[in-house]
Amino acid sequence: MERTEHPVDACDVVVVGAGIVGAAVAARLARQGMQVAVLEAQQVAGGATGRSAGLLLTGMPGHYSWAVQSFGRETARALWELSVEGRERLVETATRLGVPVERTGSLALAVTEEEAEALRASAELLREDGFDAWFGKTDPLRRGFRAALRSPDDGVVDAADLTRALLASAPVVVHTGTEVQALEAEGADIRVWAYRRTVRCGAVVLSTGGYAPTLEPALSRWVNPGQALWVVARPDESPQALLCYADYGYEYARSLPDGSLLLGAWRYPRRPSSSEDSPDPDTALREGLSRFIRRYFPAVEGNVLRRQSGTMGCTPDGVPVVGALAHLPGVYFALGLGGWGLSWAFVVAERLVEMMVEGASAGLLDAERETCRA
C-alpha cells in the first residue's frame, strides 16, 4: 500500500471509531490521565450509533429461554445482569451529562404461537432468577400479536446526543473525516496510518463495529457485519406511546418525540430463531420489515417520511466481544454489540479499559470465551 508521509502526531492511545463505545472508552481513559485521540472516518456517531433507534433493552435477542438453552442457566442469568448493569450505567451517565432518558418500559411481542410459548417460558425463568417481568397471553397494543412480556425498566435515549456529550465531557481530541487505513508495529509503539494523518501511540482501541474486519482481517473470527433498516412514518390511526419489539427481537417500533413512529428490523447470519434462508440478506431484511409493517402497522405503509439502512457488528453467539490482537501487541478491540448494543456499551467500555490498564479478563465478554473460539 502506497502511503504519503504526513507530520507524525503522538499520544498515549488512539481510539478508532467515534460511536458510543469508542466515546465511552476514550472518556474513561482520558479521565485516568491518558492522552487520547479519537479517529473517525465520518462524523461523531456517524455509524451504527447514529442509526440507532435508541432502545435500552434488557438482555439479548432471542428471549431469555433461548439464552438459557444456549448458554446454560447460570451464564444466561449473568449475561442478563450485565445488560442491566450496562443499562443503568448508561442512564446514570446520561443523567449526569444532561441527556434525557425516557423510562418507557418495553414490550416483547410474539408473532407466532411458538414465540408466545418462548415468552411465557422466559417470563417464568426471569422471575425465578430475580428479574422483573410480566407476561400476558394477550396483546396490549391490540394489533394482532399473540402474547407480550413487559420489562418495566427499559427505555429510550438519543444515542448520538449521548456520544457527543461523552466526548465533550473529557479532554479527548477528536478527528473526524479521518479514516484509518492501516496499523503498523514500530518498536514498542504502533503507527496508525490514517487519511491525511499519522499518529504514533502506545495503544490502539478498535471500536468500528461491522467494519472492523475491513481494517484488520483477523477480526472476522469474532465479528461480522449485520444489516439494519428502519423507517420513520407518520403515526397511524391510533397513535400511542410505545417501545416494543417482536419476532425474537429482530423487528421493533418506538414513538419519537415529535409524535412519529420509527419501525425497524435487523439481521445477522446466525439468528437464534427464524427459518429465513435467503441468499440475499438485504432482500430478506427489506421483506421482513415490510411484512412487519403490513401486518401490525398497516396504516403506516403510505406515510413513510424517511428511511435509512446500515451495518452493525455481530458476533457468532450474539454476545459483545472484548479482546486484544495477538499478532499486533497493544491493539485492543470492543465489538459485536449488535442491534441491542446500547445496554452493553458502558459495560463493554469498562471491561476493555480494565483489560488495557490492569491486564484483567473481560469475563463473559472475553474474546477467548468458549463460544468464540475457532
Whether residue 244 is contained in a domain is answered as yes
pLDDT over 90 for what percent of the chain?
82
- Residue 321, phi then psi, degrees to nearest 5: -130, 135
Looking at residue 301, what is its pLDDT? 83
Mean pLDDT confidence for 122-142: 96
pLDDT band for position 188 (50/70/90)? Answer: very high
- pLDDT of 1 reads 39
| pLDDT mean across residues, the chain | 91
For residue 60, the model assigns a pLDDT of 93
- 301: domain CATH number is 3.30.9.10
Judgement on whether residues 330 and 212 belong to the same structural domain of the protein: yes
Matching residue, cell 416494543: 244
Which pLDDT tens digit goes with each residue over 341-352?
999 999 999 999
In this prediction, residue 371 has a pLDDT band, given cuts at 50, 70 and 90, of: low
Select from 216, 208, 166 the least CA-distant residue to 337.
Answer: 208
The verdict on 201 and 80 lying in the same domain is: no
Give the domain-ending residue among 283, 314, 345: 314
Identify the band that residue 326 occupies on the pLDDT scale cut at 50, 70 and 90: very high
Output the pLDDT for position 2: 43
Tell me, what's the pLDDT at 237? 62
Give me the helices (H) in 32-142, please. 63-71, 73-97, 113-128
Q: What confidence tier does 4 reach under pLDDT thresholds 50, 70, 90? A: very low
The angle subtended at Cα 187 by Cα 181 and Cα 189, nearest 5°, is: 55
Does the pTM exceed 0.95? no
Q: Are 252 and 309 in the same domain?
A: yes
* 22 located within any domain: yes
Residue 3 lies in a domain: no
In terms of domains, do 216 and 228 share one?
no
How confident is the model at residue 362, as a pLDDT?
A: 97
Question: In this structure, are 149 and 70 located in the same domain?
Answer: yes
Answer yes or no: do 232 and 336 share one domain: no
Q: Do 230 and 368 lie in a common domain?
A: no
- Specify whether the CB–CB gap between 61 and 248 falls below 8 A: yes
What residues contact residue 53 under an 8 Å CB cut-off, 6+ apart? 156, 230, 252, 254, 262, 264
Q: Is there a single domain that holds both residue 215 and residue 348?
A: yes
Report yes or no on 246 lying in a domain: yes
The domain boundary residue, chosen from 314, 333, 355: 314
Contacts of 4 (CB under 8 A, 6+ apart): none
Indicate if the pLDDT at residue 178 is higher than 60.
Answer: yes
Q: Can you give the pLDDT at residue 156?
A: 96
List the CATH number of the domain containing 193. Answer: 3.50.50.60
Distance CA 204, CA 146 (A): 47
Say if residue 62 is in the same domain as residue 139: yes
Please compute the mean of the pLDDT values over residues 6-34 and round it to a whole number. Answer: 93
Within a domain: 1: no
What was the pLDDT predicted at 284?
A: 80
User: Domains in the chain: how many in total?
Assistant: 2
Same domain, 66 and 137: yes
Q: What percent of the chain has pLDDT over 70?
A: 92
Range of the domain at 22: 8-50+161-222+318-372
H or E stretch covering 21 = helix 20-31
pLDDT(374) > 50 = no
Residues paired with residue 197 on neighbouring β-strands, in sequence order: 194
Do 23 and 166 lie in one domain? The reply is yes
Residue 302 domain flag: yes
Name the domain boundary from 270, 289, 314.
314
Q: HSE (CB half, 13 Å, CA atoms) of 131?
A: 28
Instruction: Give me the helices (H) in 235-372, please.
Output: 281-296, 345-358
Tens digit of each residue's pLDDT (9 = 90 or more) over 57-100: 999 999 999 999 999 999 999 999 999 999 999 999 999 999 99
Domain membership of residue 310 (yes or no) is: yes
How far, rounded to the nearest angstrom, does the alpha carbon of residue 125 sit from its chain's CA centroid?
25
Q: For the residues 6-24, what does the mean pLDDT come to?
A: 91
Same domain (yes/no): 196, 310 = no
Residue 192 placed within a domain: yes
Compare 234 and 203 and report the one with higher pLDDT: 203
- pLDDT at residue 354 tops 70: yes
- pLDDT higher than threshold 80 for residue 239: no
- In this prediction, residues 105-125 reach a mean pLDDT of 97
